[in-house]
Amino acid sequence: MQPQSRVKFSLIIPTYNEGKNIGAIVNQLSTLLDAALPEDYELLVVDDDSPDRTWELAQALMSDYPQLRVMRRQQERGLSTAVIRGWQRAQGQVLGVIDGDLQHPPEVLLNLLSAIDQGADLAVASRNAEGGGVSDWSPTRRFLSRGAQMLGLIVLPRVVGRVSDPMSGYFMVRRSAIGGCTLDPLGYKILLEVLGRGNIAEVAEVGYVFQERKEGESKVTWKQYVEYLMHLVKLRISSPSGRLKRLKQKLPFRRFMRFGLVGVSGVFVDMAMFYLLSDPSTLAWGLTRSKILASEVAIVNNFLWNDRWTFGDISSRQRGKRQRLRRFIKFNLVCLAGLILNVLLLNFLFNVLGINRYIANLIAIALVTLWNFWLNLKLSWRVTDTQE
């Protein structure tokens, strides 16, 4: 999503065959927003090439409503993608969505906006919050709606449980909360996607009564129920359980993998140098002299890669030659201590515990790699050293 924001608020109105409603809803929304946010908002109708030519009717309104923009999509279809495409084109810091059939009362918009102003990242219009409800729904429809919500609570409690009306299609969210995320929803329920993938710290709810449709007809069929279920499962699969997630955040797996790879590259550098210096066919230096120099070259190699790659994010916050030299010296010391530890461990495992020498060496290397990693993380690339 582009970071540009030239207005405060962008409201998407997804439409499919809403020709009979479009004039009224644009009028009501403009009246409200012209008073609340003069020239600091935009209305974006995203129409999927409706056969009743809603897009054409909307375009004709643009001369009367300068804050109105219209997108006619001919390649793609679907409510959720319409909303996301709209947000991608939108210029507001706050991104919202409202149905185009007047079933969502426009006045509620102002309450949602003030919830955002008071610090919420996401403000949801809810049928199940105080002051909310549905007009006259049949028991079957109520049952289906509640059933779907219960199912969601079972499959995705941490996402669905955060709001009282997870099916709501009337809400607004700060652009910054979803800016870095890839939203890839399925079917109708875009709010699930925002809750599941967005970076939402504070949620606010505003009650509203879901109005009856006066014009046009609903596009909901059994297909939307199936898609809803598939969407829940998809979100469930892509979001690891809380415990695993926390563990992943705590343990620097990625860094450790990188550190290990760099270590392997160091072995090759060491070997090559050792050959060049000590082999009778090349320089034929003494064993110890060759080994010390080869090790040092490998250490320099490892330092450069680790500084750029493994701990690159930390290094970039500790700029300057002096800081870099300090990191290099510490790295050297840690590696040297690691080497001594390596020899001691090998001796202990082989001589005291009687483990096979190669297995003992492998264990020693593995333990020393961990030691090197932790110490370097704590000393050489210490995050607390950063200067802003």
Our CB check for ligand GDD shows the closer of 168 and 318 to be 168
**Per CB under 5 A, does 21 bind Mn ion?**
no
Phi, psi of 176 (to 5 degrees): -65, -25
Distance CA 62, CA 69 (A): 7
Nearer Cβ to Mn ion (101/307)? 101
- Selection from Mn ion, ligand GDD, none that 78 binds (CB < 5 to 8 A by kind) is ligand GDD
Is 101 near Mn ion (CB under 5 A)? yes
Q: Which of 11-19, 77-85, 97-105, 128-136 is the region at the interface with Mn ion (rule: CB under 5 A)?
A: 97-105
Q: Which is nearer to Mn ion, 79 or 298 (CB)?
A: 79
Q: By the 8 A CB rule, do 308 and 315 touch?
A: yes
Q: Which is nearer to Mn ion, 213 or 236 (CB)?
A: 213
Out of 15, 50, 54, 103, the only residue in the binding site for Mn ion (CB under 5 A) is 103
Considering only 100-108, 112-120, 200-208, 290-298, which stretch makes contact with Mn ion by CB under 5 A? 100-108
Q: What is the closest distance, in whole angstroms, from the C-beta atom of residue 315 to Mn ion in the complex? A: 54
Q: Which residues bind ligand GDD (CB under 6 A)?
A: 14-16, 18, 46-48, 77-79, 82, 99-101, 103, 167-170, 188, 210, 218-220
- Token pair of 310, please? 């493994």
Contacted entry of ligand GDD, Mn ion, none for residue 79, CB cut-off 5 to 8 Å set by kind:
ligand GDD
Question: Judged by CB, which is closer to Mn ion: 224, or 323?
Answer: 224
Tokens of 194: 């925002």
Q: How far is the CB of 135 from Mn ion (least distance, A)?
A: 12
Rounded Cα distance, 243 and 203, in Å? 22
Q: Which residues bind Mn ion (CB under 5 A)?
A: 101, 103
